[in-house]
Structure 1
Amino acid sequence: MTKRVTVYDISKRLGLSPSTVSRVLNNSSLISTEKKELILRTAEEMGYQKRAIKRQKGRAIINIRLFLPKTQFSYIHLFYDVAELIEGIQHGFGETRVNIITSLNDGDLSLFDSKKLGDIDGCIFAFTKPSDALEELLEDRSVPFILLNRSNPEHNYVLVDNLVGMDALVAAMYKKRGGSLKPCYVGFSKLPSVSEQREMGVYKGCMARNIPFDREKDVIMVDSLTELREKVLPAIEKHSYNGVFCFNDLMAVSLYQTALRRNWRVPDLFSLTGFDNSPMLQLLDQRIDTIEFSLLKLGKEAGMWLNGRIINRLDNAIQKALEGDYIVGETI
């Protein structure tokens, strides 16, 4: 009996990842034409036959697994309301009955072996990404998945437009301080992909307005909030920065409080911005200028896309950036 040719056989011959091969064989539009043609041609030459996947269009309830970051990133839960995200997902599915099962993205693949919860019809990765092993498992089983506030050119995702959001903050600070503005960006090394996008937003915003900004000298990266006192405040003092763009609201709040302990007044000494419009901003006596991050909108977009894939059998890809709203505060 001839051995069935698998995705892994094709990927081994071409030196590509199994997930990339699987996406092409499942009609993904996110792979380049050249690579797509190579994979399809090789699959035909090797005699690959796609395994039939049973789809239950009339199922009463759709099962969606929502993956959240591991506990080592527990600070995320300080300003992201998971209940709001779930509400958005449910709105996106409309009249379709959906069962949302939450899990930590800790690499445990046995979750998909459990029969107690039924088959998983789709997955959402919020503020996290699947491991290579999990990605290959999902692709092999033709389970659609989408990333929220994370991006990958070969994946489906919805995120907040960090470039546009940061540009709005740069514009507001420039309007206040004009040509005297000397800005810096405080980034977070633990989330490099998001931090780099927001840094780029500051850089492009400054370049568009002829504001001097050196991505080598004017970017201060921290590993933890404790480094704000050790690295950021000395840098502000040494270089006379009068505009500080923080990676997010948590960092902005912490920097505000740290500066206050030195009797540094904001915005007298320097203007300050955050990002995400976290509920924690209400704890300060001054409202920090920020960009609103709507979990409701992100969840709704994810729900609509998965509903189209699972219920209506649509093959459309989604790579979407949502524009956040500038929330005017008192710190610019």
Structure 2
Amino acid sequence: MKAVITGENDERVGVNLLDNNDIEHGIEMEFDGEIKYHEQDGYPDKFENRSLIDENEPVNQARRYARYYVNRERGYDTINWREDPDRILAAAVAVAELDRETVLEYFGGLYAQVRSHFGDADRPVPLPEGAAPGHVSYQQDIYLGLADDTLASLADLGDELEVSTLPDEPAQSIESLVARLLEAAPADAAVPEPSDLTIDVTSGVHVRWDDASGQYHHERHGQPDLERDPDARFDVKPFAPDGVEDFQFQLVHNLCCQVRDCYIEMGVVPPEPFRIKGLGKHQIATLYEHYDYYQRYHDPSATIDWDALEPAEHRDGQLTDV
């Protein structure tokens, strides 16, 4: 993906973008990310005339990347919270910093819920009618107490980390993971203190399941009465963690895989620390599982060609006004 800002007025920002198929897109969006104009000459204009994945997904990728690019270049709030790798990274670090007692304070319900499928742990949230145990995943929302400058400092960090990979075994410790995330940035990068990344409140445990026809359903519990979106959302399948530290590690790993997914969904190769395998966001994992358009990033046993996507780059070209 390659993009350039083509102009800005008091209502919109314009982006000229070249996707991974060398198709040019002209996109205009408002400052909240709502796209008001999108022109391209490589795919059918109407959604219903495009193939479900091979033609529709490049268009979606272009829109996601354009929003991300405008956010990075202009600072406008154009990214949906589920597509913002910086916020998810902040949540991963905040969760990684918790001690055992605080993990159970915030996430004890989720800990019991995932374990309930493999032993005698009580299930805090009963399975909805029609939800088969093998077809459920669990979610929980995280709201951070973030200062504006703390989140801003993560923008450079996510792109500039220089470690080769995240640890993939809990034995390497949560502390090691945090250190590698926060200390591997270049010397001149603005790196937040882990103590600045704190959890304000969490939701209850949500249940997501698909029925016999393949239709997805959600049942949400304990949503905080806040006038803002969450900063991140766990998306985990039932599993049997080897204690609280392993559970905590797997939660952090899930969020780091979601950071990976944010970049994959934009059609760009993830920064090197997030070239990891495992379940991130359940919705895109469904595409990984069923369509050849994406590799099987969710599958720990898959072989991944991390160079198959292109890096995010600026592209030279003539600038025009919106």
TM-score, scaled to structure 1: 0.21
Q: Which structure is higher in RCO with an 8 Å CA cutoff and minimum separation 6? A: 2
Structure (1/2) with the larger helix percentage: 1
Q: TM-score by structure 2 length?
A: 0.22
The structure with the largest alpha-carbon Rg is 1
